[in-house]
Structure 1
Amino acid sequence: MTDKAPSLGSAFRKLQSVGLYTKTDHRTVKYLNNLIEQDHRPIKRRNKFYQSLRTASSTIKGMETLRGIYKKNRRNGTLFGFSVSTEIKVLMGITT
């Protein structure tokens, strides 16, 4: 389920044309996906400053990590397998 961004529908159709997700329906119902989309809203906005996909990918991973750290509904330091200390170590490049 996604929002009604035209690029998502076209990407989904392209994946289906190469044989992926052939038995999956792509639903774009307006209100069913609000929680997920609102959670990722700051990350989805366009940014013209990235010069490569690699830079954009690492920046988005960092933004997701920081948003995960500050989420209010965490229990016992983890959120769906998300460990704050592990993600900070990954961000800092610390290997154990």
Structure 2
Amino acid sequence: DADGLTLDIWLRKKRDTQAAYAFLKRLHKQFGQPRVIVTDKAPSIGSAFRKLQSNGLYTKTEHRTVKYLNNLIEQDHRPIKRRNKFYRSLRTSSTTIKGMETIRGIYKKNRRNGTLFGFSVSTEIKVLMGILA
């Protein structure tokens, strides 16, 4: 998003138009219509985006595929992209990656606010879940 936070991650076996369509539709349902979407130049994403526009979603959204705009996004999740021996199935890898991204998102939020010292993962998770700390 505009603040540099990751909106969502969806791990699929195939990177086809159907997967991109479902992902973009899910993002629209969760966050509404953005002004601009920046993605890589994968043809499946462009095809899914045009299909959603013809169905009435993302009508006022601009789709940008400029390489340099996407570099910041790619560098953000670079540590997660490498293969890990613990990723035995799609389900375990998806769960692991979502957990890692949650912790990274909390850290990025606190780092941006300048509250790096005193940061506690357990306290942040309790606050997010509504448990008294």
Task: With the length of structure 1 as denominator, give the TM-score of the two structures.
Answer: 0.58
Give the aligned partner of residue 33 of structure 1: 70
Aligned partner of 2:46 among 2, 6, 9: 9
When residues 61 and 51 of structure 1 are mapped into structure 2, their CA distance, relative to the original with a 3 A threshold, is: closer
Say which SS state the counterpart of residue 26 (structure 1) adopts: strand
Say which SS state the counterpart of residue 63 (structure 2) adopts: coil
Q: Is the 8 A contact 1:2 1:28 kept in 2?
A: yes
When residues 41 and 70 of structure 1 are mapped into structure 2, their CA distance, relative to the original with a 3 A threshold, is: same
Aligned partner of 2:89 among 49, 57, 71: 49
Say which SS state the counterpart of residue 69 (structure 2) adopts: coil
Structure 1 distance, partners of 2:103, 2:46, is: 29
Structure 1 distance, partners of 2:52, 2:82, is: 23
Shift of 1:62: 0.4
Structure 2 distance, partners of 1:11, 1:42, is: 27
Task: With the length of structure 2 as denominator, give the TM-score of the two structures.
Answer: 0.45
Cα shift readout 1:38-67 (whole Å, capped 9, x = no counterpart)? 102344568772159xx72x3332020233
Counterpart amino acid of 1:76?
Answer: T
For the aligned residues, what is the CA RMSD?
A: 3.6
When residues 17 and 41 of structure 1 are mapped into structure 2, their CA distance, relative to the original with a 3 A threshold, is: farther
What is the total number of aligned residue pairs between the two structures? Answer: 84
> Which runs of 5 or more structure 2 residues have no equivalent in the other structure?
1-37
Shift of 1:25: 1.5
More helix by share: 2
> Which runs of 5 or more structure 1 residues have no equivalent in the other structure?
78-82
